[in-house]
Chain A
Amino acid sequence: MAGKKIKLLVVDDEKDICNFVKLLFKKEGFLVYSALSGVKAVQLAKKVKPQVALLDVHLKTGITGLEVLKQLRESLPSCRCVMVTWDKAQEKIKEAKALGAVSYLTKPLTTNQLIKVVERVTKNIERENK
């Protein structure tokens, strides 16, 4: 990826998921941050101001991924949020879209699918910034 590195925030309550997604996107040239809870994600986002966030819908403790989405859209409207979940419930998808998620991905995903979606989002950011 040319130019300044895109900041990506990964939010998942599973440490391994955070670590491997981080590793994957570091190799793709992103500056990657991660948080294991919604509260930490919101705090970290205010500090590092990511352009893209990958949010797990079902976080075990504290606020949910949808609540994180809502707070990020309010405090950091330029951040594009991509939801990642096993949950295919239509009402969840509708809620996420209504709250401003740019994409809603359901597991199991391949790494290629994940990279493609994030690259598409970052291309849109770069296009808008030109």
Chain B
Amino acid sequence: MANPLPHEQEIYEKIKKENITIHPLIWELIEHHISNDIYMINLIIGSTVLDGEQLSAENAKKVLNHCRTINEFVEKLDKITRPKSGNV
């Protein structure tokens, strides 16, 4: 798990205070793509490793594929949504 950013709490507070929201269309994409991939990763790991079995190479590849898909989606979303002037 990534360490929190040094100013992460401030970011959340700013988002809340300034009522910064994500457009529902973007939420729809996030929920559809990322939720499905995370769900699949949970299922693959949960249905094997949790009861003591080892993850097969085939299933490990499936997990990697879902991680790659998440990455590709985030890159695609970044490309079309990030303000041209850089970070806020």
A residues touching B (Cβ–Cβ < 8 Å)? 14, 16-17, 20-21, 23-24, 27, 86-88, 106-112
Contacts and interface: CB of A to CB of B under 8 A. Distances in A.
What does DSSP make chain B's interface, helix, strand, loop or mixed?
A: helix
B43 A24 contact: yes
23 contacts: A16-B43, A16-B44, A20-B44, A21-B43, A24-B46, A86-B31, A86-B36, A87-B31, A87-B32, A106-B31, A107-B35, A107-B36, A107-B39, A108-B36, A108-B38, A108-B42, A109-B42, A110-B46, A111-B43, A111-B46, A111-B47, A111-B50, A112-B46
A83 B36 CA distance: 14
Interface in B13-33: 31-32
A108 to B, nearest CB: 4
Nearest to B44: A20
Given A16-B62, A17-B40, A20-B40, A108 B35 contact: yes
B47 A108 contact: no
Given A107-B38, A111-B50, A17 B43 contact: yes
Interface of B: 31-32, 34-36, 38-40, 42-48, 50-51, 62
Contacts of B44: 16, 20
Contact of A24 (B36, B40, B47): B47
Contacts of B45: 111
Contacts of B39: 17, 86, 107-109
A12 to B, nearest CB: 10
